[in-house]
Amino acid sequence: MSASSSGKGNIPAIEVRDLTVAYREKPVLWDIDVSIPQGVLLAVVGPNGAGKTTLIKAILGLIKPAAGQVRVLGKPYSRHNRMVGYVPQRGSVDWDFPTNALDVVLMGRYGHLGWFRRPGSRDVELAMAALEQVGMAEFAQRQINQLSGGQQQRVFLARALVQDAPIYLMDEPFVGVDAKTETAIVDLLKALREQGKTVVVVHHDLQTLTEYYDWALLLNVRKIALGPVSEVITEDNLKVAYGGRTAIGVL
Amino acid sequence: MDLILLAFTDYTLRTVIMGTALLGIVSGALGSFAVLRKQSLLGDAISHAALPGICLAFLVFMTKSPFLLFLGAVGAGWLGTIMMMLVTKHTRLKQDAILGIVLSVFFGFGLVLLTWIQRMPNASQSGLNTFLFGNASTLLVEDVTMMAVLGVIVLVILIAMWKEFKILSFDPDFAHVSGFRVTALDVTLTTLIVVAIVLGLQTVGVVLMSAMVIAPAAAARQWTDRLGLMVVVAAIIGAFSGVIGALISSSVPKLPTGPTIVLVVSAFVMGSLLFAPNRGLLWAAYHQYQNRKHLRAQTVLANLFSLAQNHDDPHYPHDIAALRAIGHAAFSQAMRQLESESMVLHHGEDLWGLTDKGIEKAQSVAKDIDS
């Protein structure tokens, strides 16, 4: 299943070319060119409204771009459905939906099952293992509206884990979680990288960048910098991304 | 009693019961998905939008054949839904405004057609106006047969695509990422909801049919936290409401079926909102009361304990007045509760002291507060 085979290691995991996304004439992403190599743990950073979530959604084909192309492991996304595991923002679903944690994690198997086939005992085993991995095994039967924010986030992570994809896209998995959950998630991200997977995470906290990630993409409607964290997170780059914006805000 | 006996012997009544049970099951089951996807009002728009379709089908074919009228209703309901989706996508109007516009335009057009049909000089059109408020007694065997066939088809598709509809309803973006064609799924599920609504129009009427989609699901959600069970419970509530309402309306002359059924299903909703465990209002109120009582008792216990710290004897009894000084007016009840749990000992008059068990409990409460 793992597609990060060494033979095609030089194909970028994600390649975005000339990507422009606009909501009602106002560009959210402007002429983005990004090439993310395989096997990196990359943070997407930038101020609010920089288009971080939009970039993730455009890569996944959830948003139609005004222009540009996205390639995942060298192929257009639509032909590569099971290549990407996805952790959406926690607030994107209604947690009062009548279901339990295990059932949500099982949804991560639906892509492998395809149309009409129901999850079987093998899928339940995988889902339980994933819940175990995020420290949520004892909450498997728990109603999802009775989970804390951090626990809900972990359920989403477990759901992505059972997708067993070579590439992971995660939208702000650290929002609203306690320190313990944050550590657990970071360990998980690093474990995924050790397995040779490519992990792209929308991240907010500039303080923890060097500690958590090896690559970073600095974004503010346009691409500002992409590369190893130490090269991207420089004072000049940050001033371009954040500083200019603040100056305009003050004026 | 007579009615129940009749139900098994009387041919017409049996037809009515089977028809209303069927429509209740189908609308309850599909309604669960409409409610979970926050499309409750879509059902209202669809049912109203179906009226011109019924009238047009009658005008074109000059027959009241249930299947042709059904096709007309589905067509119009569908057209209304598509228009809503298109307007939502291409304008800045909000969903509720669009629903309101489509509903009233289609329903208004339907009423115009209906009035025109009723003025036509031939007798075959009589009875078409029962589609407004519904009339279960007009159900014929051929109607019920069609409802049964279509109902079974709808339910089979629902079961076959259970996993797909579940992921679509919970997290459509994730469904897309998992490789499902979300638009196709959305259209399929919406079509099933349209069919479920149209099946009930003759019995319940276009004006109130949406209640049969929303209410059983809303009631069922109160009783369970599992999607499968919710759908089953909604189907059962829908069936019972349909049958009970139809029986009441057919035993009272000139009582329209739709409003009667809706009153019955509303009673189910009221009961569920009040009495369901966990989510019910009474349950919540009882829990709040219990929590408050518990908290009050713990506060008294902690206060007694801190007062006793001033003495060498932790059992040292204190006057209620001393506790009142610390604050907490209504605690004779709390005292009685603590006494029943043998946490405190009544030393006569207004004097109360802790027992060993009470001391232990007070210490653990204090520890909880500290940590």
Residues A145-164: tens digit of each pLDDT? 999 999 999 999 999 999 99
Residues of A with Cβ-Cβ distance to B161 under 8 angstroms:
116
* A19 vs B89 pLDDT, higher one: A19
B113-171 pLDDT, tens digit each? 999 888 887 756 667 888 888 888 888 899 999 999 999 999 999 999 999 999 999 99
The pLDDT assigned to A23 comes to: 81
The pLDDT assigned to A7 comes to: 47
Record: contact A92-B171, CB cut-off 8 A: yes
pLDDT at A25 over 80: no
pLDDT mean over A212-233: 92
How many inter-chain contacts (A to B, CB under 8 Å) are there? Answer: 80
**Could you tell me the pTM of the whole model?**
0.85
Measure B223 CA to nearest chain A CA, in Å.
Answer: 11
Record: contact A98-B226, CB cut-off 8 A: yes
The beta-carbon neighbor of A86 closest among B174, B180, B227 is B174
Best mutation target, A93, A157, A162, A169, to test chain B (most B CBs within 10 A): A93
The pLDDT assigned to A152 comes to: 95
User: Cα separations (Å) of B303 from B294, B325, B364?
Assistant: 14, 10, 13
Query: Which residues does B contribute to its contact with A (CB < 8 Å)?
Result: 36, 38, 160-164, 166-167, 169-171, 173-180, 221, 224-227, 229-230
Residues of B with Cβ-Cβ distance to A118 under 8 angstroms:
162-163
* pLDDT > 90 in chain B, percent: 49
Best mutation target, A24, A99, A123, to test chain B (most B CBs within 10 A): A99
* pLDDT-flagged residues of chain B (< 50): none
Cα separation, B222 vs B279, in Å, equals 6
The pLDDT assigned to B371 comes to: 52
Q: From B95, B96, B105, B66, select the one nearest B198 (Cα to Cα).
A: B66
Characterize the bridge pairing of strands A198-202 and A167-171: parallel
The pLDDT assigned to A248 comes to: 41
Going by pLDDT thresholds of 50, 70 and 90, the confidence category of residue A249 is very low
Going by pLDDT thresholds of 50, 70 and 90, the confidence category of residue A80 is low
Query: Which residues does A contribute to its contact with B (CB < 8 Å)?
Result: 57, 60-62, 81-82, 84, 86, 88, 92-94, 97-100, 104, 107-108, 110-111, 113-119, 143, 145, 159, 163
* pLDDT > 70 in chain A, percent: 91
Cα separation, B53 vs B3, in Å, equals 36
Cα separation, B297 vs A71, in Å, equals 64
Tokens representing B202? 């003759």
Do B213 and B34 meet the contact criterion of CB atoms below 8 Å apart? yes
Q: Calculate the average pLDDT of chain B.
A: 87
What ipTM goes with this model?
0.91
User: Cα separations (Å) of A42 from A4, A46, A55, A174, B85?
Assistant: 16, 13, 14, 14, 38
Residues of A with Cβ-Cβ distance to B36 under 8 angstroms:
94, 97-98
pLDDT mean over A30-35: 93
Record: contact A62-B176, CB cut-off 8 A: yes
Q: Calculate the average pLDDT of chain A.
A: 88
The pLDDT assigned to A247 comes to: 41
The pLDDT assigned to B325 comes to: 67
Best mutation target, B176, B177, B278, to test chain A (most A CBs within 10 A): B177
Residues of A with Cβ-Cβ distance to B225 under 8 angstroms:
98-100, 143, 145
pLDDT at A244 over 80: no
Set out the domains of chain B in order of their start, with CATH numbers: 2-275 (1.10.3470.10), 283-370 (1.10.10.10)
Do B178 and A77 meet the contact criterion of CB atoms below 8 Å apart? no
